[in-house]
Structure formats: structure tokens, C-alpha cells
Amino acid sequence: MQLEAATIDIGTSRPLVLLHSNDAGELGAHPLDRVRIDHDEGTTTGIVKRTDELVNPGTVGVTEPLHHIHGVVGVTLAGTPQSVRYVRKKLDDIELEAHELEAIVTDIHENRLSDIELSAYVSAVYTNGLSLEETKHLTEAMSGVGQQLRWESPVVADKHSIGGVAGNCVTPILVAIVAEAGLTMPKTSSRAVTSPAGTADVMEVFCDVEFAMADIESIVDETNGCLVWGGGVDLSPVDDEIIRAEYPLSVDPTGQLIASVLSKKRSAGSSHVVIDIPYGEGAKVESLVAARELADDFKRVGVYLEMDIACAITHGTDPVGRGVGPVLEARDVLAVLEGAEDAPESLRVKSVRLADMLLEHCGVDASAADILNSGRALERFRRIITAQNGDPSVESSDLEPGTESATVRASRAGIATRVDNRQLCDLARRAGAPLDVCAGLVIHQTVGNEIALEEPLYTIYAETTTKLEEAKTLADRLEPIRVRSKADALVERR
């Protein structure tokens, strides 16, 4: 069928084509079927949407990924990608072979899967999991797609936290320390998936985080390190598409998590990586046994990919730092680097410990505490901010949260017996984080604190009254900081 291509301005990353119902009927094309489009530049596959109003008969509407298509084109019905069969196979809990996983990765990268099919893949992995062999092959396939960074240094340092702990923004501090110690550390980070702020969201408070490959190389040549968004440079781009499908459900299945982290690290050219695995009640990993199993899997996949992986199993029962949300976490980061008296000690201690671990892992004899305390890490951080088009003169006191706020206070006197990271993150997201960069929480208590009646537990910040009220309504139903009498606290410990 010959149709006239017309540009349709609908925001989507999928290659959707709009067909008038008359034309779709003549082709035998149903919604979400695929059509082959033969045009001047070659052949493209599109996913069908039927309409009676948005396009006229004789016209095919092409969305943003297909805006390069113009003029009269040939449109014919196309078959379903083979990878859809493999997604169904995974839904049936059948282990996938390397070539089957590679086909899924390739079709995701080439935009051949509809959003429903991509969601089915995410659901299958979440429900049925991935074996170690599947995880190895998936990681290899994902890292083989997209751009690759390569460095002259034989040792390229990196670090990643699996998340799940509120305010755990160690990475900017660690990068500044390690880069100042002379190591190459091109840190690519994700935006938030299930948290109120990813490292890229926090760094965007200070400077730009989206750069082309050549710009990243220049920044690292100048400063030894960078803190950029991995999705902006096409490193393991399939990971970003999968994260897009995971985000609405707030899921992050284990095998996919490993593939996500290590495919990005491999694409970034990292050779020595420290993985932070927090565990505890309310964290992503709730038991020490599960944390050790995850660490072993990370190391096994690392060996398969010829990457040197070390894992830090850390306590995740308490938030790290006080702020939760982009601006509030950025303020904590800068306070630690500045050596401010009111800087959160938990964030400083964890940053130093992980930095020391990474330095030792890379064979560098240096003290992270000395580099931090001397102010050299702060100067290195300011150099990175400058190289990434930010303002190096910014100070922690300059960073203000949202103007709308409410403080939740203790309804009884006692002891804080639990701080629930998941609930705190839910509250910060309800307040608007990470899209509203000034939204989030400030946490005033940690486990073990003695708390008086009406003493502040946490403060919610939002950019609008509506979102503050939504967060307060949720806070009324939750108990993110549990306060019990001394007698009840003693029973809980037993």
C-alpha cells in the first residue's frame, strides 16, 4: 500500500505509526501489529495505532523516532519479532539461551518491541528471576550495544550502590577523593528508578550531567573524574529502556539489577569496581544471607566479563545523611566535602570507608580521610563541577529546599526502634522528588535515639502546597520512624 508520510508530534520513544482505520483494515493491521515502511532511506518497522481522526485515509502518521521518513512510502504488514516468543518463554519460567537474550536486547535497542511487550519482559524477569547463566549472557549482550568508553590507564575505578537506603549519596564524595588520589574514575550514574534521587539527579543540582563521549573524555582528562548521566551517552542504552519500564512499578529484579550495573560499568571501560550492597529491614536486600548471595553473583558475573569486582556489604537499616531528594542530598554532599560542623557524620564515615576500599582495591596507598580532611577532595569536586559547566563557588548554605514544609513530630516519648527507608523514600517521592528537585525530606532521628513527646521526627519539603498535602496524607498512614517506650523497645531487641 502506498501512503503519504505525515509527521505526528506525540512524545514517545517507540516507533509508532498511526493508520486510518480504513487503511489499517485493508492491510489487516490491528493495534500493536507491526508494519514495514519502505522509504527513500531504507526500510523501517513501525508499531501500529489505529485512528479515525488524527490522520486521513491515504496517510501514515509517523511519530518522533520516525520523523526522518518523508514523502510517499510503501507500507506492508510485518511479522512479530522472534524475541516476543522468547519473552513468552520467560513468562513460562523457562531459562533462556544466550542467543535468545541477545535477540531480546537487540529488539529493545532497535525499538522493535511495543511498550506492552517490554513490560511483559520486565514482569517475566521480576516474577521468575534470572539464573546466573542468564545474568551473565544478558549483561554481555547489554554491554555490547551502544557506545563504549576506552581509557589509556589499565586501572579504571568505579563504584555503584544497589540503592534502597534513603539519602545514600556517597558517590560524589567518593569520586572527588579517588580522583584526587590520581585514579581515573569516569562515573556514569543513573537517574532515580525507585528512589527519590539518583546520583545523576543530585549532581544536576550542581552542574550539567548530559555530555557527548568526546566531552566526557575531555572532562576526565582534565580532572581524573566525572559524574555524568549514563543515559546521555548511549552506554548500555537498553538498560535505560528497561529502567523506563521498571520505573512505574518501582521494581528492580536481582538478575536485571546485576546486568544493569555491570553492563554500564563495562561500557564505561571500568576495570575495578566496588559494589555497595546495603541490607536490613526496609532496604532492598533485607538479610545478610541475601546480601552475601548477591555479592557472590556480582563477583561471578564480573569474572565472566573480566572485571575486578569487590563488594561492600553495609548496614541499610538507617538512612545515610539527613537529606532525601536532589537538593537536600546535594546539600549534605557539599557539607561533608566542606568539613562543616553540622555535616552528617554517617555520610562522611561511609564515604571514607568505601573510598578506602576502592583505593586499596585499585592498589593505591592513600588515605581517604586525609584527602577529605585536607580540603583536597573539595577542590577536586569544584574542578569537576567547573568542567561540567557548573558554578564552583556554590556552598552548602546556598542550597535551599522547597518553600512548602511540614514537620512530623513524635506522638509519644520513647526510643526510635526502626527507621523505614522504603517509607521515607515513598514520602519523598509523594512530595515531588526527584522531578521537583527541591522536594524531599530532612530526617531528624536515627535508630536508638531517645525521643521526647512532640520532638521532630522528620520534615517534609515540597515545591507546591498540593504535593505537600499529598505527602502529609501519606505520612498519616505510615510510620517511617517507629517510636516505642523503653520497655517495649527492650522487648523488640529481644
Contact criterion met (CB below 8 Å) for 50 and 24: yes
Residue count (the chain): 494
The vertex-116 CA angle with 112 and 121, nearest 5°, equals 80
Which phi-psi region, left, alpha or beta, contains residue 128 (left: φ > 0; alpha: ψ -120 to 50)?
alpha
What are the residues facing 50 on neighbouring strands? 19
CB burial of residue 313 (10 Å; 0-12, 13-18, 19+): middle
Give the residue from 225, 165, 156 showing the smallest Cα distance to 364. 156
Nine-digit cell at 458? Answer: 522528620
CA distance readout (Å), 2 to 30, 33, 71: 18, 18, 10
Distance between terminal CA atoms of the chain? 74
Contacts of 76 (CB under 8 A, 6+ apart): 1, 27, 35, 36, 38
Beta bridge partners of 326: none
Active site residue 488: no
Residue for grid cell 513468562? 91
Cell of 109: 535497542
The catalytically annotated residue of 239, 240, 252, 436 is 252
Q: Which helix or strand (DSSP H or E) is residue 23 part of? A: helix 21-27
The cell for 272 is 575495578
Give the rounded distance of the alpha carbon of 50 from its chain centre: 34
Q: Are 146 and 109 in contact (CB under 8 A)?
A: yes
Using CA atoms, how far residue 207 sits from 330, 394, 401, in Å, is 11, 10, 17
Give catalytic residues, as residue numbers.
252
